[in-house]
Amino acid sequence: MMRTEWLDFIMGIDMRAVIVSITLFLVGVLEARAESYRVDYAVKLQAGEATGSVNCHYDERCVVDLKTLQMKLSISILRNYRGRADLVLDGKNNCCLFDGATRRPSINPRQPGMRLRLFTGEAARGLEYVENEPIGLLYLRFNLDGSDCLEAPCWQHTPI
């Protein structure tokens, strides 16, 4: 084998390996980003209510704009730790707090049909005891594996 043929052979293998590696990496990234979960929600307040379903991607913050209530619900679940969902419900006039006077609770999304009480007032700091005014409820149901209830919203067919 001549020297130029040898170099061409070596360069050809390296380039093919690099191209295959990059392709496999990109396919893995795209598959990971495509992995999603579904959330069915209902917010019932004295001022009104909003219901629906949303598809969310793991490792990204999912924001639901509840325009009729002038609120935004944020949900995030990490792909590698699906036993915890972080929530935020933003509204006006010191809304919205959850039990324990917290603004950002973490919940177990594997629990079937959750009901969380909502309050208006001030968030607790440290060991401070705060008594806030109840304003309504947030109902959540998570479908983490995509297997159940394909029509939206789920609770029209099965009760929470």
22-32 pLDDT, tens per residue?
Answer: 555 555 554 44
Q: For residue 10, what pLDDT is reported?
A: 58
Global pTM value: 0.69
36-56 pLDDT, tens per residue?
Answer: 999 999 999 988 999 999 999
Q: What is the rounded CA–CA span in Å between residue 13 and residue 9?
A: 6
Q: Which residues of the chain have pLDDT under 70?
A: 1-34, 93, 146-160
Peptide bond into 153 cis (omega under 30): yes
Q: What is the rounded CA–CA span in Å between residue 85 and residue 123?
A: 20
Q: For residue 97, what pLDDT is reported?
A: 85
The one-letter amino acid code at 113 reads G
